[in-house]
Chains A and B, each alone.
Chain A
């Protein structure tokens, strides 16, 4: 095994790290002893790098079953004196919110850093909530890095801050920080401590009402100490002079700095750069507000700083005009970019600036450019499962309603599969399916992946059994957490060599939760899978069909095995188009200029041998052909 590059290098050396890697390096330099996570873009690389490192050092690491579990494991270890880090995507913190809110009462002994990776523009998420409000709601210190270098520095500072205040610290990143590589200067790695020690102190650590009343008071008292830290934090900087003020935090700071340089305003603006943003440094903000007349707040998503600034101004009787989110100014939607920030700064301070007016490619060409939607891979078992369900419903003359869930299989939304009708969040397929079936009396087929099933499907399924709901749940078990980069989970069947995790088989779990009607199929065995699917679709009561076949992509990567066959359309298939309308494998295409002739791309065909089982025009290609 190659040593992780995050473990190598001399102090002072510069490396090109992703923001996520800088966080891991910063944590290692701070002597982190335990890291937990549930994978989710844009935070996934934090866990993945720590997983590698845990196989090469004594770092404790786990992929927990969900974010709440991850946060609790880290909290227990932090209560025992270890430095711990827990990483998740922004919506993961919703799952862990119950723990977070009262963990703030209990506090920590070892430093604890919670990484919340927010996703403005929803590159790979179901919403774009601004998790800075969690820090405010829970009463926790909040740091917002702008660059990979700062992500590493803030991670280290967060451990120290956490131990000083005895509170977990929220490190809030955004996709653009997590997934930007930039130069990071290495510090020295720290050794991890030996065994932690749990000190019994039930009247401070067991949150029954009488204890929690005291704990809440202590938490509020800690806010003053935290604010004092924010006032003098090196991450909060006031620079420049003049009646125009700009306030910014996180990745937007980079866009502001470039904009001020390019607009020639670098020496004409009073700039307040904030990195430690809860509690806000009210004295520093007051000082800033008393120096300026007009203020522009540049922050992605919600007006978190803007509201804070307005509150400080009101409390201190300061009258500078403060603007940020407004019609024609900054939006609460989506990621910002340097050109946008330049344009808005110029507009607000009435500085002449002509933004570039680039050509729009569609207009230049005079026709729409074809889109390039993402698609399930050739050989993906999910497509085979969807196909059988589609055919089963068609043959039975039924129309289904399809609540779905979060994973690669969410791509079943797109035509021609079109097998997704309702989705809220991780695990929602099961319970929303129950509600839809209850209200409509219609045939509901809900889809959930294996990792998502463990993440938040278990209580939903137990509840559906107990409440005698009537729908079919299809668990699409591809043996890994494919969407986020093939991380293991309790039901995992594909693991890197030497992976020590205990295997928890899904069929056993489903039976143990009280499901009586259960089918287990291999979706690539079409005849058997279709027969079982028809039975399952036709039935009543709560039914579960487990469709098990490994993720083709990951299995190939793990085993290094090449395909053993490939297939081709041998005959003219005329106007059938069945494969295009029901299956949609990306390896299949219409021969240009011959609408009645389908072909299979010989590079892309995975050799899964599924289509050959239902189309007589498709045949294996002989070896060497």
Chain B
């Protein structure tokens, strides 16, 4: 899959479910996708979790495009899942259908009950194998390592934004997302953010990072 000139109609419905852990920048990523969609002439809806959940808990958000009025994504109704953390990407399996595209960070953030030995973190390899068999396609790679290489461990969100724009699922081009990253993120981190974005794009072009169902999408 490569970045293609997108000519999908502005009325085509698209539901993107973003999930991660407080502090990973999921809200910024969803907002940037929304802003890029707005610039491209869509009427996006972005819903966010605020408050209690952000103290190290799970943070989910959604980006919805097309003619849809509902900002929420019900079980089994996500077209795309953007998983910022391995376990949380798998936990979003209940949002997926047989043709959902899942883009996931394989890096783990250990939940407190696991850190203290009270619970077990599932083995990541088998967990992703299982996930890949249930969804249309899985693009999975270590976005945390790429962010660190880009110079900012906090840029996992930029890596994943790069990856999603390099698939053909968005109805607007990567340039639209890059533009809002330039205008709406902290200029101090811009260089690292753009680098991280580029690494995400490259990761999406790496065939080894993809697992597709044999029956196709």
Contact = CB atoms under 8 A, between A and B. Distances in A.
Interface string B49-60: 111111111100
Interface in B92-143: 92-97, 110-117, 119-122, 127, 130, 134
Interface stretch (A104-112, A187-195, A253-261, A520-528): A253-261
Interface stretch (A24-32, A177-185, A211-219): A177-185
Nearest to A149: B43
B206 interface: no
A358 B110 contact: no
B67 interface: yes
A180 B74 contact: no
Given A16-B44, A182-B45, 14 more contacts: A14-B38, A181-B45, A253-B69, A255-B70, A339-B75, A339-B76, A370-B111, A370-B114, A373-B111, A374-B53, A374-B56, A586-B112, A590-B117, A603-B153
Interface string A424-465: 000000000000000000000000000000000000000000
A372 B56 contact: yes
Given A339-B74, A357-B76, A358-B96, A180 B48 contact: yes
B108 to A, nearest CB: 10
Given A254-B69, A589-B116, A369 B91 contact: yes
B46 A181 contact: yes
Contacts of A361: 90-94
Most buried by B among A253, A358, A364, A408: A358
Contacts of B95: 358
A365 B127 contact: yes
A373 B47 contact: no
B75 A356 contact: yes
Given A361-B94, A369-B122, A180 B76 contact: no
A258 B93 contact: no
Interface in A307-357: 337-340, 342, 355-357
Contacts of B48: 18, 179-181
B22 interface: yes
A369 B55 contact: no
A586 B57 CA distance: 12
A84 to B, nearest CB: 25
Contacts of A255: 69-70, 72
A110 B134 CA distance: 59
Interface in B2-34: 21-22, 31, 34
Nearest to B131: A364
A339 B44 contact: no
B93 A364 contact: yes
A411 interface: yes
Contacts of A263: none
16 contacts: A123-B52, A124-B52, A181-B44, A183-B43, A337-B72, A338-B72, A355-B76, A358-B95, A360-B94, A364-B130, A364-B134, A367-B122, A370-B121, A372-B58, A372-B88, A374-B55
B145 interface: no
B76 to A, nearest CB: 3
Contacts of B73: 337-338
Contact of B90 (A254, A258, A365): A365
A176 interface: yes
B15 to A, nearest CB: 9
Given A360-B94, A370-B111, A370-B119, A16 B87 contact: no
Given A124-B50, A365-B122, A365-B127, A16 B38 contact: yes
B76 A356 contact: yes
A568 to B, nearest CB: 15
A371 B116 CA distance: 13
A338 B70 contact: yes
Given A364-B130, A371-B119, A179 B50 contact: yes
A369 B87 contact: yes
A377 interface: yes
A-B CB proximity, top 4 nearest: A339-B74, A356-B76, A124-B51, A589-B115
A618 interface: no
B1 to A, nearest CB: 24
B50 A42 contact: yes
A258 B73 CA distance: 12
A358 B75 contact: yes
A401 interface: no
Contact of B34 (A181, A355, A359, A484): A181
A129 interface: no
Contacts of B44: 16, 181-183
Interface in A253-284: 253-255, 257-258, 261
A51 to B, nearest CB: 17
Contacts of B50: 41-42, 44, 123-124, 179
A478 B117 CA distance: 31
B201 interface: no
A126 to B, nearest CB: 11
Given A254-B71, A361-B93, A590-B115, A16 B46 contact: yes
A476 to B, nearest CB: 16
B104 to A, nearest CB: 13
Interface string A1-40: 0000000000000111010000000000000000000000
A41 B51 CA distance: 6
A296 interface: no
A449 to B, nearest CB: 14
A265 B90 CA distance: 35
B79 interface: no
Given A356-B75, A365-B127, A370 B87 contact: yes
A584 B111 CA distance: 12
A374 B52 CA distance: 7
B97 A586 contact: no
Given A16-B44, A41-B50, A358 B93 contact: yes
A584 B122 CA distance: 22
A514 to B, nearest CB: 35
A265 B147 CA distance: 47
B107 to A, nearest CB: 13
A242 interface: no
A254 B70 contact: yes
A179 B69 contact: no
B68 interface: yes
B3 to A, nearest CB: 24
A91 to B, nearest CB: 14
Interface in A568-603: 580, 584, 586, 588-590, 595, 603
A279 B192 CA distance: 55
Given A179-B49, A183-B44, A365-B130, A359 B96 contact: yes
Contacts of A179: 47-50
A376 interface: yes
Contact of B71 (A42, A176, A483, A586): A176
A257 B76 contact: no
Nearest to B38: A16
A493 interface: no
Given A180-B46, A372-B58, A123 B53 contact: yes
B112 A373 contact: yes
Contacts of A99: none
